[in-house]
Amino acid sequence: MAPRLAGIDARPEIAAVASGHEATILDGTVSSWRLEDALRERQYDVVHFIQHGDAGLLQMTDRKVTLEWLLRTFRHQWDLRLIYLNACDSVEIGAALHNSLGCAVVTNKADISEEVATRMACDLYEAMAAGAEVDDAFYEAKAGLRRLYPDQADIPILINGHSIMQREIVDELVGRMDAIERRLQVLEESVGKLTSRSLHVTLTDVLLVVLIAVQVWQVLIR
């Protein structure tokens, strides 16, 4: 679903969502009642939003819809695997939809650029079209963001229960362990250089003492 809104070019993202999937596309003028009709007509595996968001609100063509409205509108969707809220600052809505419907939700925890948001969605759906499950597709797409857009890579999040939260924690711990390992390597190299230098100075001092002793002995025996 992609209402025509200022500042958003949804065409690349729509193409990615539709590629390899049977898709019902709501774009252009997308009013709240048009979305209601679409959700009443059939069951969906995935519902994807491309729009502006604010805490607790999503922008449709005719108005901003509230979290309560979305919960009522989605209450008869029983087969959902994923809701993708590609809108800024939409975690509150995403968490409530996940808790109410039990499906996975991808959302953004802060403002995100259109380029990064589109890249994330395109990569996720490409992975899903190739057979990946939602969580694997999400983390594969996130890995791509970390390479290309490291400053915004942590904005998209997946809400999908305990297992996913544990995976987030494991990923963070692995990242921290890698950073600690790199710092230890630097420290080890520094200590090695310092030890070598100290050893060199000690040997030099010993040689000087020996030379002085030899010279003193030579003077004494004359």
Q: What is the pLDDT of residues 120-134, one digit of tens each?
A: 998 998 898 889 999
SS3 label, residue 30? coil
Instruction: Give the DSSP letter of residue 89.
Output: T
pLDDT of residue 200: 54
Residues 24 and 35 in one domain: yes
pLDDT of residue 137: 95
**Residue finishing a domain among 160, 175, 200:** 160
Residues 48 and 18 in one domain: yes
Which residues have CB under 8 Å from 1's CB, separation 6+? 25, 26, 27, 30, 35, 38, 47, 48, 49, 50, 51
Residues 146 and 169 in one domain: no
Q: For tokens 């040997």, what's the residue?
A: 203
pTM of the model: 0.66
**Residue finishing a domain among 127, 160, 193:** 160
Q: How many domains does the chain have?
A: 2
pLDDT of residue 163: 44
pLDDT of residue 140: 95
- For 56, the domain range is 2-160
* CA neighbor of 123 nearest in space, from 106, 109, 102, 110: 106
Residues 109 and 200 in one domain: no
Residues 166 and 210 in one domain: yes
Residues 112 and 193 in one domain: no
Give the Cα separation of 89 and 153 in Å (integer). Answer: 15
Residues 123 and 34 in one domain: yes
CA distances from 186 to 34, 176, 178, 190, 194 (A): 60, 16, 13, 6, 12
pLDDT of residue 6: 47
- Judging by DSSP bridges, how do beta strands 82-86 and 27-28 pair with one another? unpaired
pLDDT of residue 92: 87
pLDDT of residue 7: 53
pLDDT (tens, 9 = 90+) of the chain, 222 residues, equals 545 554 556 666 666 676 666 777 776 777 788 888 888 888 988 888 876 667 777 877 788 888 888 899 888 888 899 999 888 788 888 898 999 889 999 999 888 888 898 899 989 988 988 899 999 999 999 999 999 999 999 999 999 875 444 455 545 555 666 667 777 777 777 666 665 555 455 556 656 666 666 665 665 555
